[in-house]
Homo-oligomer: A and B are copies of this chain.
């Protein structure tokens, strides 16, 4: 490789657990986080769960010198909770809200109100363009019976689509965030295989942090150990992922996580561990065609694996479709019953002989209470019907896109040795092509 030029970028990702008045030691922890960021001067800081804009603004004030550029992504009722701080100028930002994000009536889980999304910022690092993404997917409350799994799979699908389609012009892609998925979970495999993003923990030359790179650990005093069960020591659900481009190679020189405590403080920064990755970007003057031969070796195998993963995701979305259809049916049936009850009540009140021959009129108190109940049922089931219809549309939409993608990937796979040399020089491997076709980095 001739004529390389190297750029170093230090990235931090942290789920701040910043629910005002509910998260423990929230103001103190924000102060600690601010001090640490000010001191450490990472190039890029990706924060999640900064639920209050006030907390973002106080961090922004504190980091005005160390990180003059920042953006807070607004979405949903509460906000997306996503924030980015940068040493380098942010030229452009864009937000993609996931089409599915739990249920509004599951208020105790609260995900729906957060308006989960993926935020993108375009930075210029020297003469290079970096697309930086920060996201937070739907939480997993019960791994054995995870009713949110189809929603999270659709979020992972939309995340990979968003990154793939928006990163074609970037020299460097960085994604940081709380994916709420274990390393080998379906959504994670889908994301990494389709985009070609590499996991900093798996790629790093040096690692200093929790065992197995865990980011939600039993040793963290804010963690309820029972909730981690059956993973006694902890789980890895926060990530820093990265990739280069046809013009650049990217390496992870080191990675670290906090270990359930913060230096010189009585408690840690958050219930999640903070991740830091030291990335090194090398630009080269090799053209794409020089590097083309590398592609063919393993691309067909990767493509076949990708087809399997997308098919698996499609199956999961179909399960979600089945559930949503069932819930919409239940809402409809309940609504019809409420309507029937109301009609019956009105009929009894209007036609006295219907009241089984008794001379007594319909008691007024019961009449009004029953009528109020019927109206409440009708209104609730109507709102639920609308909500489930939107959920169904979103699931069907994702399933359609997956079917189309599988068809397209399979066609590529069939004609692989023939089609590749014809099309390859015109299209960049990332962006519009699955990165199973991307050069090995």
* A residues whose Cβ falls under 8 Å from a Cβ of B: 71-77, 79, 89-97, 99, 115, 120, 122, 124, 127-129, 131, 161-162, 165-166, 168-171, 364-365, 368-369, 371-372, 375, 379, 386, 389-390, 393-394, 396-397, 400-401, 404-405, 408, 411, 422-423, 426-428, 431-432
Residue on B with the closest CB to A423?
B127
Contact of A368 among B115, B365, B405 (CB under 8 A): B365
Asked whether A97 lies within 8 Å of B95 as measured between CB atoms, the reply is: no
Complex contacts, A422 vs chain B, CB 8 Å:
127
Main secondary structure of the interface of A (DSSP, over half): mixed
Give A103 Cβ to nearest chain B Cβ, in Å. Answer: 14
Q: Which residues of B contact A166 (CB under 8 A)?
A: 165-166, 168
28 residue pairs bridging A and B, Cβ less than 8 Å apart: A73-B397, A74-B397, A75-B394, A76-B393, A77-B393, A89-B408, A89-B411, A92-B404, A92-B432, A94-B162, A94-B401, A95-B99, A95-B397, A97-B99, A115-B390, A115-B393, A165-B165, A165-B166, A166-B166, A168-B169, A169-B169, A170-B432, A364-B365, A364-B368, A365-B368, A368-B369, A372-B372, A372-B375
Q: Which residues of B contact A368 (CB under 8 A)?
A: 364-365, 368-369, 372
Contact (A74, B431) CB under 8 Å given A91-B408, A401-B93: no
**Which of A79, A162, A379, A397 has most B Cβ within 10 Å?**
A397
Assess the B75–A404 pair: CB atoms within 8 A: no
CA distance A369 to B369 in the complex (A): 9
Judging by beta carbons under 8 Å apart, are A75 and B168 in contact? Answer: no
In contact, A71 and B127 (Cβ under 8 angstroms): no
| Min C-beta distance of A40 to chain B, whole Å | 24
Do the beta carbons of B426 and A127 come within 8 Å of each other?
yes
Task: State the CA gap A400–B120 with chains docked (Å).
Answer: 14
